[in-house]
Amino acid sequence: MNLETPSMQSSDDSESDDTSRSQAPSFNPAFDSPDGDIGTPILSAKGGNTFFRIHSFILKTTSSWFRTMLSLPQGQSSPVEVIFMEEDEDTLELLLRMISGLPLLPIVHYDVVDKILFAAEKYDMPGPIGVIRLLVMTPPFLDSPFRLYTVACRYGWEEEARFASTQTLAHHLHDPQVRQGLRRLSTDALLDLISLHHSRKESLRDRLNKPPFVASENAASTCGNCNAPLDYHTWRILKFRMIQEIEIRPLGDTILDKGLVDWPEAKACWLAKCPNRVCARSLYDQEPTMRIIKECIDELPRSI
């Protein structure tokens, strides 16, 4: 960004400006007050066509970057300075509204959030960063858990990062639509997310391989009613299907809401009986088994 003395009156001077600054400059209506201290700086948005007049006190108290810059010795040729900024008009207005206590304009896109955070970090403005931290935990930003996770990890927002990691469990990390969001993550943040998704699958697999789903190592695989040998192949097939499903959707809700009722593998398991036709005892009680499976899924890791 550049500091220049404003010279908006001379038509000869305006003709010598760059093409991007050739249009007649104007002040943003929310920052057009002539009141202020002597030497109140004027900020120019990228392109040099929109200006913002803002008290130096506000800039100094909300930004250590501006506090340092405005404390440097200034020339005596003009009481007013124009500071040409790198941010576009919309981003600069949102940033200045946040530090000035003016009503905030609606923000509904993460691209806008990224621009504000980048500028606030560059100028060391903790206030706007705090506002954005609250904002991203409201709709519609909660509908994009990978963008939320990216922002939270980048700025060290641990609680928001854990919340977002839980929301990602409704998605498959190998989904092509998710890949673009994963590219934004740092290596550590990505590995933490992969570990969370993978640990849920492995933890469920380990739990389904233990009693009461399978007999203990010392117990014989025989019917408790007639001692006929039993083959639990229907359970092994259902277990394999559940592991496949939780890999695709680590949240596990599709297993409980629909899978254990409608899957052919589930129906075969609930219908399995002792091979002794005289006995024909059901090998699995559907309702208690589904309840225990739900408890197992509820106990799986839910966040990074």
171-223 pLDDT, tens digit per residue, is 999 999 999 899 999 999 999 999 999 999 999 999 998 888 876 555 557 87
What number of CA atoms fall less than 13 Å from residue 54's CA on the CB side?
26
**Between 72 and 296, whose confidence is greater?**
296
8 A C-beta contact, residue 166 and residue 197: no
CA–CA distance, 290 with 298 (Å, rounded to integer):
12
What's the whole-number mean pLDDT along residues 12-38?
62
Return the pLDDT at 214. 74
Number of domains in the chain: 2
Domain span holding position 54: 2-135
Examine the pLDDT at 66 and tell me if it is beyond 80.
yes
**Which residue, of 135, 160, 180, is where some domain finishes?**
135
Does the residue 181 lie in any domain? no
Pair of tokens at residue 223: 């019917």
- Of 126, 149, 124, give the one whose Cα is nearest residue 136: 149
What's the whole-number mean pLDDT along residues 247-264?
94
Return the pLDDT at 12. 44
Examine the pLDDT at 1 and tell me if it is beyond 60.
no
Examine the pLDDT at 276 and tell me if it is beyond 70.
yes
Examine the pLDDT at 247 and tell me if it is beyond 80.
yes
- Of 145, 146, 120, 142, give the one whose Cα is nearest residue 131: 120
CA–CA distance, 28 with 97 (Å, rounded to integer):
11
Return the pLDDT at 41. 80
pTM: 0.83
Return the pLDDT at 257. 87
Pair of tokens at residue 77: 């040729």
Examine the pLDDT at 36 and tell me if it is beyond 60.
no
219 in the Ramachandran plot: left (φ > 0), alpha (ψ -120 to 50) or beta? Answer: beta
Examine the pLDDT at 6 and tell me if it is beyond 50.
no
- Of 141, 197, 137, 136, give the one whose Cα is nearest residue 172: 197
Examine the pLDDT at 79 and tell me if it is beyond 70.
no
**Which residue, of 98, 115, 135, is where some domain finishes?**
135
Dihedral (CA of 7, 11, 12, 18) sign = positive
**Between 225 and 51, whose confidence is greater?**
51
Q: Are residues 17 and 127 in the same domain?
A: yes
Any idea which of 17-26, 43-52, 67-76, 78-87 has the lowest mean pLDDT? Answer: 17-26
Return the pLDDT at 8. 38
pLDDT tens-digit map of 118-171? 999 999 999 999 999 999 999 999 999 999 999 999 999 999 999 999 999 999
Does the residue 257 lie in any domain? yes
Does the residue 187 lie in any domain? no
- C-alpha distances (whole Å) from 197 to each of 132, 152, 201, 229 are 28, 18, 7, 38
Burial 167-183 (b: 16+ CB within 10 A, else e): bbbebebeeeeeeebbe
Q: Are residues 218 and 103 in the same domain?
A: no
Does the residue 178 lie in any domain? no
Q: Are residues 127 and 8 in the same domain?
A: yes
Q: Are residues 123 and 206 in the same domain?
A: no
| Phi, psi dihedrals of residue 214, rounded to the nearest 5° | -130, 155
**Between 230 and 215, whose confidence is greater?**
230
Average pLDDT value for the chain: 87
CA–CA distance, 150 with 41 (Å, rounded to integer):
35
Q: Residue count of the chain, please give it.
A: 304
Q: Are residues 116 and 240 in the same domain?
A: no
8 A C-beta contact, residue 270 and residue 231: no
CA–CA distance, 116 with 90 (Å, rounded to integer):
10
Does the residue 141 lie in any domain? no
* CATH number for 74: 3.30.710.10
Examine the pLDDT at 52 and tell me if it is beyond 80.
yes
CA–CA distance, 39 with 74 (Å, rounded to integer):
10
Examine the pLDDT at 17 and tell me if it is beyond 70.
no
Pair of tokens at residue 242: 């559940």
Q: Are residues 14 and 87 in the same domain?
A: yes
Examine the pLDDT at 10 and tell me if it is beyond 60.
no
Does the residue 88 lie in any domain? yes
Bridge-based pairing of strands 42-44 and 2-4 is unpaired
